[in-house]
Amino acid sequence: MTTAARTPHARPRRQPARRSRSPQPEPGSRERLFAAAAAEFAARGFAGANVDRIARAARVNKAMIYYHFHSKAALYQEILGEMFHAVGERIRAVAASDATPEQKLEQFVAAIADAAEARPHFPPIWFREIAEEGAHLGAATMQEVVGIVQGLIAILQEGVRTRRFRKVNPLLVHGGIVGPLLLFLASAGVRRRLQDAGVPGAAQFTRDEVVAHVQRVTLALVEGRM
């Protein structure tokens, strides 16, 4: 009696696992997300900002936030970092120029005003961040801030060396520049309401008037005239 040879059952071939495709960015999606997030953070702060609202405002899939920026926190850092980097570059150029210390200080004030005015989202975001003790500032953003303050310190030290300025705490000078400028830029709506409520001219003075005022007061301080 013969035994028929057994034919081994053929094993089904395994299909190679399909790789999930990464979402492909639409043209301009990064810029739209940046603008939408800037408005969202300005209106609601970091904690109150919602990535779904940001995506809807930017007209993109929410996955694009993580494609371009990796996280909500990274997106926030990008917005702050962009502002401080722009200011920092200009301040470094001012500090290294052949201008007089007085001219450099005036240009420092103008640089802050120009950058903040070009980014209406920045003053409310920064005021919120200050109120929360810088809780959401990353190390890279802090270094950008430090670079701006160091640029101011260099200008003040040059003025002291050339006997044009007296010694003043640089943070007092910095606060006296940044505070009034950002307050003016952030308070247009409140100033309109003040004027409507009976405060004459509350909404009528201009950005250039504020910049010139801050420049005069800052120079008067460092030159010992006040």
DSSP-assigned states of every residue in 173-193:
HHHHHHHHHHHHHH-HHHHHH
Residue 6 has pLDDT above 90, yes or no: no
Per residue in 114-124, pLDDT (tens digit) is 999 999 999 99
Whether 11 has a pLDDT exceeding 90, the answer reads no
Q: Are 113 and 119 in contact (CB under 8 A)?
A: no
| Correct CATH for 76-222 of 2.60.40.1220, 1.20.1440.120, 3.40.50.1980, 1.10.357.10 | 1.10.357.10
pTM, two decimals, is 0.83
CA distance 105 to 109: 6
In whole numbers, what is the pLDDT of the chain averaged over residues? 89
Residues of the chain with CATH 1.10.357.10: 76-222
- In angstroms, the CA 191 to CA 195 distance is 6
- Among 134, 156, 164, smallest CA distance to 225 is for 164
Is the pLDDT at 29 greater than 80? The verdict is yes
- Amino acid 26 reads E
Q: What is the CATH number of domain 26-70?
A: 1.10.10.60
What residues does CATH 1.10.10.60 cover in the chain? 26-70
